[in-house]
Structure 1
Amino acid sequence: MKKTTYLLAILIAFQTLTFAQYTAIPDSNFEQALITFGYDSEGTLDGQILTADAVGATGSLAFAGQNISDITGIEAFTNIDGLNMSYNPINVAVDLTSNSLLTSVNFEECNSLPGLTITNLTDLQVLNVFGTAMTTLDVSTNTALTDFTARNGSLTSLDLSANTSIVSVNVRNCALTSLDMRNGNNANVTSFNADFNGNLTCIFVDDTTEPNLTTWSVDAGSTFVENEAECATLSVKSVKALVFDLYPNPATDRINIASKTQSASVEIYNITGKRVFSRDLNLGDNVINIGSLKSGVYLARLISDSNVETKKLIIN
């Protein structure tokens, strides 16, 4: 009897060792976050997590700002529906093809992120890759996508023609040379910003006469076209691109000025012609506090080495 019990105990122990499977977590900060937020039941920094712990995780995995550079192991979290890894120095390409239930993915300000694979995430609705280093991104299988943000990023091309549910697109200040919006849903796109893409000549759309296009924000050098032939035959005359973008207008206590040049300044004049404000501008976005100015109509003079723009500014 004792011998039988002993053998049974050995068999159970052997089965436990055999079936206790692990998933490698090479980044110690990633594993520490899993421990801190209760996803690693062993609670030990040993470069791995029980696969059962990963599979058992549901809901949203939110690890913003945890100094994580590699999320290898995320592929085992097959039952999560949200992933927020924003503000982490991730420098290894991420593959989320195993995370098929994801509806929301956020890598905002993961400035070193070189690539993201989201193939076949057919339930994905919200994607934020603001400020990443990616130059290309395939969203052709993400047919449920409604909101896409890649502002201040490095994308050179973007094809949203398969994204028939898209209603919000923000690709401001990227490096785009190609943007395809021929998805049959242009009339329902309520938010679209593609300005500060100086090399984006053609934006492909369903219908260039669609009234909704007048609400889309694009560069002066970008033109809506319906096909490649129209793009090829665009006039070659030089179109002076905007050097500055000032918003909001009307404003209250602050304005934002986006500058495309390294050396620039802003001067604000009241209706009598008196200069009441001046400041140097940096390349990119500048937040200007105008709380000291009274309500009224002003002229904002935006100055660069090669250009001067004057805009009417209303302060409420």
Structure 2
Amino acid sequence: MSVVVVTGASGGIGRSCARAFAERGAAIALIARGEKGLQAAAEDVRLRGGTPLVVPTDVADAEAVEAAVEQIERELGPIDIWVNAAFSSVFSPVWKLAADEFRRTTEVSYLGFVHCTLSVLKPMMARNRGTIVQVGSALAYRAIPLQSAYCGAKHGIRAFTESLRVELLHEKSDVHVTMVHMPGVNTPQFRWLLSRMPRQAQPVPPIYQPEVAAAAILYAADHPRQREYWVGASTVLTILGNKVAPGLLDRYLARTGFKSQQTSERRPADAPVNLWEPADGPDGKDFGAHGAFDDRAKSRAPQLWLAHNKYKLAGVGAAVVAATAAVVGRARR
């Protein structure tokens, strides 16, 4: 039985990821701050055939993360796969952000990944096996307006992961680290992040269901030698566009980036804020895996299908080449 750890497991991508690993019969340590979300996630895991272990932890606290790793290995056994998916953020223009808000976002969304990676690397490297999957974003390559703190964290995670990956290759280690860059995903974050926008936040379309993200994470965990995976055509186009014509993309986002991240619905004054305290804490509720965009979210991503079927496609391609060569050969005789 594999031992898997998922951070940010109480909602969104992390919650969906925990469910997917549970269907494989894994033992899953669930890390997040929200008590109600964690308990509901544990029930999800049990119902799907997995073995849950709830480990309430703020990933911004390095000592707490160290203690969590020790507890998980003591109670479940050696960690095989660690998925970093926890984050928080603020929707705001830079000039309206307070220093403590930027710091807190960075502590959770960047340093949280670093703390978890450092802590689990120790036992993994001692055993010379294990996989770390970093949940990235198209915004790790191309920053957009209103999410400067989050974009900065995702850029940092990519740089940190690239350095670590090269170091592991240098050591000829069988510990692997990979990244999965996500598009806009239908998660609860758009209802619980601190926001200074006049209307409700939304993912930049096209929007994908969290199960698509979870499937990509499981695939990456199974094939961790590839340095990164891109999910969704929008992610690929965003990254390529930034490489080819970043100035044009700047102007395009200046025109469209504010409106595309907001719905027509006014933001309630009493909306929950999870930057400092979890929205699914004792006085909150379980938000689940899905956000408010089920009617618009896609349940498939072509890049994921291609990744799953690349060996079959390679075989078909080889057969087509061989058949073409045979036809050409007969035509020449």
Higher strand share: 1
Q: TM > 0.5 between the two?
A: no
Q: Give the TM-score range, shorter chain.
A: under 0.3
Which structure is larger by alpha-carbon Rg, 1 or 2?
1
Q: TM-score, normalised by structure 1?
A: 0.23
Q: TM-score, normalised by structure 2?
A: 0.22
Higher helix share: 2
